[in-house]
Structure 1
């Protein structure tokens, strides 16, 4: 019997496939192995040429003759184990079981090239990790020469090469010109520019006073407005007081309009929409939501989360009853599920609705939804519980009646002045009954009103106000700005390209980009908001009008990558255009005059070894005495050590509880403390794993 080696992207998926495989009879025998995400990466410049180790403008741009990979230090053991497995067995082919998408192709084929493998490859492709989906994928492996798979693989490789060329060449140029480490990236820099633009608007904002005038009619209040301009702002206190002096004791209803609004449930979740909703309701960061969604996917409870799509394919929608039924065991959804399953006509209507089901609007993957696997007795963390139920509610809502309200707008006249008030009455709560816990204070309904009705004015009030500066970005609004980056360009054609390319970054990388900007000190979190640092502001100002600052650059090249996937341009054409751009762009970058303030050293305490001050560095907290080797890393077992944590350690105190990932893959929380020169974990009973 033929033998194949299946390589999964993560151990959890490998185990899931193994379990299903044991129940099947296939015409070949499968052996199993697993990566731990990326196990290789593109080499650093000096590994190609010794002279590229110098940070010298004269050697730029650095363009290797061929691109080579090196084994990541953190994944060396995994790499060697799979390499030995390939050498020790006579396999007829390999099965690529990495995540079904561009990044999964990159993870597999970068290893495949580095290890020098020549065996044929079959593709295991599924957006779900349920037993039935795995069984179907194993039974229908895709050949590596399938046009879509081949194009996706080429696009994945060229995307990583392009990012290498842009990132390393422009980072070198910026660092030499700016006199300190300045990281530049195809997506990272335009994202920084979005935050900096908002920060400069806030800094340059000058509040202007204005006034409003309000009358209280007992059951509701109404605000003065200019009937011609519809503006409710009054320029001076004198004018507001003059209006107040002219108002008598009654107001007459001048006009009443009531309009019925019918609002259907929103589309299903893409990762972007899930991240925005989780940030709005729970304050989760974009990276937190992605990690939680990935965990739910690995537990078979939701479909593949790294998706840009908000639609389901027809094939899945036709069997959606099973997904809905899986929620029927949860008490909060029992009645809703039963009503949906009893209404076959409504299910059919949704399946035929382009708002929710559209094969033409699918990307690599369909929208995120729950699977047919019931929650049962699975143990979820509080975060997993919240995200699972957000996805569950969104699925159920599309099969429920719309939210219907009657909106009323009334215009009143007092003396020669006009006032406006709004209110609404809920005619049908529809799908919003699922969101009662999240509802904020509702707008109050207006009492029954008719034209020419006379109403007594109880009190009047002049309101003193000031114009407000723009609001800083949150995770939700920054992700939205990255997706709708076309708003930041004026050219209509470029706006169209950005829309087609779905903004800058991808659903899988946007959260990572934001966290990287924080880690290198270009933006900071203040509560739920992002603020550009002076360093970040200096970088963007110094880059002037270089196109690395604009979202257009990444959109244009993302469009070209998509053209590779769709077969509209060849890989060789893309590479030729890419090299020409890198050469021109690097030349323009070198010509810039960069003025970036020197980094101010952040002192976190005294060294426990030699007594010198310990300062914050890029990767950790280092003793300022170069002869001393004392060092605290900013990242320990994937746990982030902040400046506050470092200060506590050096002062002899314990840190806050930090979330760590042990070598076994298990996660847990612990505090840290310094014992001599060594860092030790301090567990509470609840934190042990």
Structure 2
């Protein structure tokens, strides 16, 4: 019995082949120089009834085909862009893709079974379908009954063997969902990109001082549209305009200060109490409160509440892709593209689990303690002693000990949260970025498996002529997970004075103070990732791509201020958002509502409540209306660009 296995990348094919073959394999070249064919025998496939199979394992390099329009009929300048909403689409292959496809066809000719080993997400299902379609071209015996897909999330030996022994079937609904997204993105993206470029490119080029040589396509400015790019841009522009339009306002409040020595407290602690009303923007009103309190209560106040309670700083939830990108940006100053690329390499090398996951809940049956043990045995790492202490049961008085992680509310049923698989040796073949991301993954995982930090808070309330003033203090009793997670700060605050209920206290100082409101800070990439995730813009795997795309299109730029980098829109970025607002399409273009609706529809395709044809027909009908309105208002887009350029220059 002969079996063809196909992975999404050559590195995965190589790792899986070494595990299934026990290292006894032959390596042959393929028709594409970066893909190898690995041959070996394996007797664990369930359809072989414990018999030995001759296996060839190979790979693709991402998608095997692309969808596009017929260039001869629908190329740029050869048709009205509006025709692209209904134009036929064709599958095409680049030269490299054709070489990889030829290898699939060659290797599939004499095979009895095909097993897909692509990444276990929607995109992986679609790539698996592309592989299946290509294999059938040379072997009609391959069908739904002989097609399987391995389900795996990392490259640990036992896990890979389990995946080989228990393969599933391809999820054809997920294939349809990805096909829907690809077709919608093609039709809407190309049509509006051509419309915007034809309308605005010449004016923008002149404004930017860009000249294009006659017949030179490479220097042509492209003003692209993408259904994820524009809402992403919208978030950055919205923050920019809130800052630019901000007008500071003066406010007033009241503060009380008491000294412990005035109350007979030998510690002599000085404590500031804040007004429960916060701050008010009416100076006369605050002054009235202040003078009435002074006149009727003088320098005396009464303790009306003393509350002491235990408080916890919860350990983090298990790590998702979005959280990884957000925190690497925030803590490690790595952008989303860099952190995800480093995580991908660590996965391919077998150090961490699959890094593209929405799941923040570990399966109860998963043996996480063994993963902690591997880190405890990693001599020389900065966290090995912490991992050993976590598992040490010989000291009954220790406060921190291993606990199964808490569960979040997301489970994509495809992959567990990101976690380390094996310990990192001192001589591991990884670069500096990969090492930093690996350390973050390990520390986050160990923090998940620890006890919550524990502290004690005390809150005291004073009544000064019926106006309430509060002060709080925190004392940390057990740091626990904070000891392995240096990026999270939770520190002792002011020590509170020893006061009793109904005690009269002497006010050392009562002040009426003023201040000014401050504008929001510019957008950080970490904040942008959170906004995109919360609003369904892109997937955990594509968020980084969308941010990089609008940078490459010169819609936003990154400005470094001190140690922090902020994202700000360019003139073109602001003009695009404002232009679509002017013609009444802000909810469809620069706001997340349209894309979120599409993502909801894709989920419904996956659960069988909608079909590809229905979703495409519904969304394309809407975009035809958007296109008509835009063509009727081209002049408005140009006028807005001029206004923005003049106002920001």
TM-score, normalized by length of structure 1?
A: 0.73
Q: CA deviation at 1:484?
A: 1.8
Residue 14 of structure 1 aligns with which residue? 13
Residue 80 of structure 1 aligns with which residue? 99
Residue 550 of structure 2 aligns with which residue? 517
Distance 1:224 1:84 in 2: 72
Q: CA deviation at 1:555?
A: 1.5
Residue 63 of structure 1 aligns with which residue? 86
SS of residue matched to 2:312 = strand
Taking structure 1 as reference, are residues 114 and 592 closer, same or farther at Cα in structure 2, changes over 3 Å only? farther
Residue 564 of structure 1 aligns with which residue? 605
Residue 35 of structure 2 aligns with which residue? none
**1:582-640 Cα distance to aligned partner (Å, 9 max, x none):** 4444334433444246699xxxxxxxxxxxxxxxxxxxxxxxxxxxxxxxxxxxxxxxx
Residue 90 of structure 1 aligns with which residue? 109
Match runs of 1:305-320 below 5 Å = 305-316=355-366, 319-320=367-368
Residue 283 of structure 1 aligns with which residue? 333
Contact 1:55-1:172 within 8 A present in 2 as well:
no
Q: CA deviation at 1:505?
A: 1.1
More off after superposition, 585-594 vs 152-161: 585-594
Match runs of 1:134-283 below 5 Å = 134-144=160-170, 149-179=171-201, 181-217=222-258, 219-225=269-275, 230-233=277-280, 235-236=282-283, 243=290, 246=294, 252-283=302-333
Select which of 358, 363, 370 maps to 1:322: 370
Residue 59 of structure 2 aligns with which residue? 34
Residue 4 of structure 2 aligns with which residue? 5
RMSD: 3.6
Distance 1:417 1:85 in 2: 78
Select which of 156, 163, 167 maps to 1:130: 156
* Higher relative contact order structure (alpha carbons within 8 Å, sequence separation ≥ 6): 2
Match runs of 1:333-482 below 5 Å = 333-334=384-385, 336-340=387-391, 342=393, 355-356=406-407, 361-371=411-421, 373-377=422-426, 378-413=428-463, 418-436=468-486, 438-439=488-489, 442-453=492-503, 463-482=513-532
- Which residues of structure 2 form unaligned runs of 5+? 23-40, 44-51, 203-221, 260-268, 644-649
SS of residue matched to 2:93 = strand
Whether 2:637 is the aligned partner of 1:595: answer yes
More off after superposition, 458-467 vs 279-288: 458-467
Residue 662 of structure 1 aligns with which residue? none
Taking structure 1 as reference, are residues 237 and 222 closer, same or farther at Cα in structure 2, changes over 3 Å only? farther
Residue 593 of structure 2 aligns with which residue? 552
Taking structure 1 as reference, are residues 81 and 187 closer, same or farther at Cα in structure 2, changes over 3 Å only? closer
**1:224-253 Cα distance to aligned partner (Å, 9 max, x none):** 52x5xx223464499669949949666554
Taking structure 1 as reference, are residues 524 and 451 closer, same or farther at Cα in structure 2, changes over 3 Å only? same
Distance 2:199 2:377 in 1: 62
**1:535-591 Cα distance to aligned partner (Å, 9 max, x none):** 111111211232233312112211121122222223343344344444444334433
Contact 2:254-2:513 within 8 A present in 1 as well:
yes
More off after superposition, 321-330 vs 26-35: 26-35
SS of residue matched to 1:304 = coil
Contact 2:81-2:192 within 8 A present in 1 as well:
no
Residue 647 of structure 1 aligns with which residue? none
More off after superposition, 243-252 vs 577-586: 243-252
Taking structure 1 as reference, are residues 426 and 440 closer, same or farther at Cα in structure 2, changes over 3 Å only? closer
Taking structure 1 as reference, are residues 51 and 363 closer, same or farther at Cα in structure 2, changes over 3 Å only? same
SS of residue matched to 2:310 = strand
Contact 1:42-1:69 within 8 A present in 2 as well:
yes
Contact 1:199-1:472 within 8 A present in 2 as well:
yes
Q: CA deviation at 1:512?
A: 0.9
Whether 2:577 is the aligned partner of 1:540: answer yes
Distance 2:597 2:58 in 1: 38
SS of residue matched to 1:586 = helix
